[in-house]
A and B are shown apart, each in its own frame.
Chain A
Amino acid sequence: MTNYIGKAVKRVEDKRFITGKGRYTDDIILPGMTHAYIVRSPYAHARISSVDTSAAEAIEGVVKVFTGKDIAESGINGIPTGWQVNFKNGDTMKEPPHPLLVSDKARYMGDAVAIVIAESREIARDAGDMVEVEYEELPAVADAKKATEAGAPLVHDDAPNNMCFDWELGNPKAEVDEAMSKAHHITTLEFVNQRVIPNAIEPRSAIGHFEESSDKYTLYTTSQNPHLTRLLMCAFVLGIPEHKVRVVAPDVGGGFGSKIFHYAEEALVIWCSQRLKRPVKWTADRSEAFMTDAHGRDHVTKAEMGFDKDGKIMGLRVKTYANLGAYLSTFAPCVPTWLHGTLMQGLYTTPKINVDVTGVFTHTVMVDAYRGAGRPEATYLLERLMDTAALEMKIDPAELRRKNFIPAFDGVKQAGYQTQVALQYDSGNYQGVLKRALEMVGYEKFREEQKAARKDGKLLGIGFSTYIEACGIAPSAVVGALGARAGLYEVGQVRVQPTGKVSVYTGSHSHGQGHETTFAQVVADRLGIPMDDVEIIHGDSESVAFGMGTYGSRSLAVGGSAIVKSLDKIIEKGAKIAAHKLEASEEDLEFAEGKWTVKGTDKSVGFGDVALTAYVPHNYPAGLEPGLDFSSFYDPANFTYPFGAHIAIVEVDQDTGKVSLKRFIAVDDVGNVINPMIVDGQIHGGLAQGIGQALLEGAVYDENGQLINGSYMDYTMPRADDLPSFEIDRQVTPCPHNPLGVKGAGEAGTIGSTPAVVNAVMDALSPFGIKNLEMPLTPERVWRAMNS
């Protein structure tokens, strides 16, 4: 009946998902509900001369139109950011206001100008077209590096050169310069880590419901972290008391980071509902999602790595311009700095590292965390440097990595590894994953095939990526010191019902990750009860005490650990009740298979009996409180550090430039695994997203700041026929500092895969002397490179 951990238990949530019975925000219909449509700027940068709502308000069925002026006059605040990064000189970053509706200026194509509330979605939309906004178009800038140049149009008047912050981490630049000056060889790459659009299958949606009778508000929203949204919205934007606000994030169809952030639409529907005394629903259409969901990546980088003559890394110097978009989204300042710069050690013993990042405002939609968040950009940078250096120095890329790997350490007998860039890795065995991946790919044999293929005019290539990520985000004291404006613990409550059935309330939110299964496996195993007796409840601030939500591969490592803490308390209290019932001493009991047994005897009492006794305490230990219900906060001691080795094999068609991904091998070490099927699924999905960035995806803004591929006609998502059957395996190096020994698996695939694919294409193109091409590696781009 027990031993669920490690088993590929089928997902309990899938019953409702695959039968079409999921309940998403847009499925919710409330009595008297109105529908909102948001009028958005068609220009990336424009002065708003006037907004005339009279024609729209004259339409039958229109309840009200609010404009930026109404918002400004109401005195409420704009959308806050949750992380502060300072300038190198200590000045606070520029944090311009982000009003719910703009009244003076639109700063990106899609900036919200007015909101139309009507009896139906269709009427709201039609009326939206009748809102007459007079714009005076102004010059715009979409490119992060160009935005910092003299004469570039300013996004915010009080942010000179469009700089939000400049920031550095690692060893002093002079020390790194000195190390680099002694290098035998320096590999330099200048590249763009292009902007990608998250494309969750469910577009964002929000319903605001103000109930005048009780003075209470409910927000239903597509969020990865309802409690964080409630905190930000109540305390920073609307100034309404938190205890009067319930935030529900029901079933959510994917987030990939884009639903972490507190968006203006959430506060808007609450504000409108309060004014109109009716529920207000807003749901984005796909086009709106393209233009208003926070995007990911968008770095312009120059990176240099110095080597001695044997291929040992001597130093790393990085300069990055990170596009933040027009306003600061919730975690925007943190992504290119503390989630990017801190990963520059990679798996290597690089002795001197300096990373310098400038955060830049542009006339584009906000950029924030997207699956991997900062870590894919860091990994791309390091792993592209490694394969390029291997080519330049004529050292085998696998060998170059082996020469530079940090030796294995378990974090228990051997200490954690202190990097040059603030982090201390918990445990790792980097040689192990590469060795396994090389075995799986049949490396030596492949190199021979590659030689033979080249003779036949076939362009085969192999690319490596050995990555590390910092997950299980994060120790509150550490992130607080780094500028976070929130703690990053998690809350887990275990309520044993009188009948022995168990309700678990977690602050982690599941929107595809399968918490309802994985968490139930942990609880059932620890309590020795059937999984069917466990229900996982998440996503409702009224039932879950508190939570910091799901992102940074933190759910199991942090949220799961909080539940384990509560389970420990349940078992500890249960032992007191069991001892009383068995007339034995607590120390003489052992708990296994769902019962407390007096050691060395067959005298035992079951979990169900103990639970019932806790709620019917007729014969009960003196002084012990009734009930069996514990809540715990878990604040991790460190980040977790999953790692792995990915290898891609590609063939490039010389006539068309088309890249075919022939094989993809991923050996990941995510620590202990609770449900291997779910972890496999996470890895597969992550790989598809990372490969998508390498070969297919990329948001394109023209020189006027217009997003010109804002639909599925032009924005290419990875599809099944773009991908091979993945060959995946795992190594297990348990995390030494959390009770489950887990490290997190949600982002590994995305972080590791992108550079492996690009490296493979560069290897295939090496006969042409091509060293670097910008992503996505479309047939046109590859063909032009071969033919120039």
Chain B
Amino acid sequence: MHLTGTHKFNASTDKIWSKLMDVNTLERITPGVSKLEEIGTDQYKAIAEVKMGPVSGSFSGNLNVLDKQEPRSFVLNIKQNSKIGNVAADVKIELQPLSEHETQLSFDGKANMSGLLARTGQRVMSGVANTLSKQFFKALEEELANSTSQEV
């Protein structure tokens, strides 16, 4: 499955970058994620509950941040296993400054699924991914707005 999308934030590239690299923030705002734990440099262990169309499952596995080009881009390497099948994905995330206070985030990658997830979830998967990314961006926007207001 091809994963791609963009979102415009009213925040600087540096600010977004720091939020994206903060494990506590991510644990709080990523949809479905119940636990995110740093287990090494740029290595995390994640536990998530995700419902994808007809199938829902409890996922656990690792996230690795690779190829870090602070504050412009990184690759998120995801390996999540569940009883309903496994997901493996590499997603490149890029931050493009549009102005001092505006940043375009874009992501592009590919996810491979197996098992029941592939067999019955494939058709709705891109819709689910879309919804989850929108939820994530909205939560990130709120997070950025809160932190900005606190700063002021």
Q: Which residues of A contact B (CB under 8 A)?
A: 42-44, 109, 129, 137, 287, 290-291, 702, 704, 706-711, 713-714
**A710 contacts which chain B residues (CB < 8 A)?**
118-120
What residue in chain A is nearest B57 (Cβ atoms)? A129
A713 touches B123 (CB 8 A): yes
B115 lies within 8 A of A109 (CB): yes
Q: Indicate whether B15 reaches chain A with its CB closer than 8 angstroms.
A: no
Closest Cβ neighbor of B53 among chain A residues? A713
Which chain B positions have C-beta within 8 A of A713? 54, 120, 123
Would A706 and B119 be within 8 Å (CB), given that A42-B114, A109-B114 are in contact? yes
B5 CB to nearest A CB, Å: 22
A287 pairs with B116, CB closer than 8 A: yes
CA distance A706 to B113 in the complex (A): 8
Contact A711 B114 (CB under 8 A): no
The residue that A711 contacts in the complex, of B83, B85, B115, B120, with Cβ under 8 A, is: B120
Contact of B122 with A709 in the complex, beta carbons under 8 Å: yes
Are the CB atoms of B119 and A711 closer together than 8 Å? yes
Which B positions have Cβ atoms within 8 angstroms of A? Answer: 54, 83, 85-86, 88, 112-120, 122-123
What B residues does A709 contact at CB under 8 A?
Answer: 119, 122-123
With a CB–CB cut-off of 8 A, which chain A residues contact B120?
Answer: 287, 710-711, 713-714
Residue in B83, B86, B112, B115 with the greatest tally of chain A CB atoms within 10 Å: B115
Q: Verify B114–A43 contact, CB threshold 8 A.
A: yes
Interchain CB contact under 8 A, B119 and A291: yes
User: In whole angstroms, what is the CA distance A42 to B117 when docked?
Assistant: 9
Which residues of the other chain, B, contact A714 by a CB distance below 8 angstroms?
A: 120, 122-123
- For the complex, give the distance between the alpha carbons of A43 and B119 in Å: 11
Cβ of A42: which chain B residues have Cβ within 8 Å of it? 85-86, 114-118
Q: Which residue of B lies closest to A291 (CB)?
A: B119
Q: Using Cβ atoms and an 8 Å threshold, which residues of chain A touch B112?
A: 704
Per the bound structure, the CA–CA distance linking A109 and B148 in Å amounts to 50
Q: Smallest Cβ distance from A648 to chain B, in angstroms?
A: 29
Would you give 30 A-B contacts (Cβ < 8 Å), ordered by A? Answer: A42-B86, A42-B115, A42-B116, A43-B114, A43-B115, A44-B114, A109-B114, A129-B83, A137-B114, A287-B116, A287-B119, A287-B120, A702-B118, A702-B122, A704-B112, A706-B115, A706-B118, A707-B119, A708-B118, A708-B122, A708-B123, A709-B119, A710-B118, A710-B120, A711-B119, A713-B54, A713-B120, A714-B120, A714-B122, A714-B123
Contact B119–A708 (Cβ < 8 Å): yes
Q: How far is the CB of B71 from chain A (nearest CB, A)?
A: 34
A704 contacts B116, C-beta separation under 8 Å = no
- Minimum CB–CB distance for A734 against chain B, Å: 48
Closest to B117 in A: A42
A-B contact sample (4 more), CB < 8 A, given A109-B114, A287-B116, A708-B119: A42-B85, A709-B119, A709-B123, A713-B120
Minimum CB–CB distance for B85 against chain A, Å = 5
- Nearest CB on B from A12, distance (A): 39
Q: Is the CB of A711 within 8 A of B54?
A: yes
Alpha-carbon distance between A290 and B85 when the two chains are bound, in angstroms:
16
In the bound complex, what is the Cα–Cα distance between A264 and B68 (angstroms)? 49
Closest CB of chain A to B115's CB: distance in Å?
A: 3
Q: Which residue of A lies closest to B112 (CB)?
A: A704
Cross-chain contact B83 with A707 (CB below 8 angstroms): no
Q: In angstroms, how far is the closest chain A Cβ from the Cβ of B87? A: 11
CA distance A704 to B86 in the complex (A): 13
Chain A residues within 8 Å of B88, by CB:
137
Chain B residues with Cβ below 8 Å from A702 are 118, 122
Q: Measured between C-beta atoms, what is the minimum distance from A425 to chain B in Å?
A: 43
Max chain B Cβ within 10 angstroms of own Cβ: one of A42, A129, A708: A42
Could you say which of B85, B112, B119 has the most chain A C-beta atoms within 10 Å of its C-beta?
A: B119
- Which residues on the A side are within 8 Å of B83 (C-beta)? 129
Q: B residues within 8 A CB of A109? A: 114-115, 118-119
Chain A residues with CB under 8 Å of B86's CB are: 42
What is the CB-to-nearest-CB distance from A605 to chain B, in angstroms, rounded to a whole number? Answer: 66
Tell me which residues across on chain B come within 8 A of A707, comparing CB atoms: 118-119
CA distance A707 to B119 in the complex (A): 5
Please give, as numbers and ranges, the residues of chain A lying within 8 Å of B54 by CB-CB distance. Answer: 711, 713
Nearest A-chain residue to B122, judged by Cβ = A708
Complex formed: what's the CA distance from A658 to B88 in Å? 36
Contact B114–A706 (Cβ < 8 Å) = yes
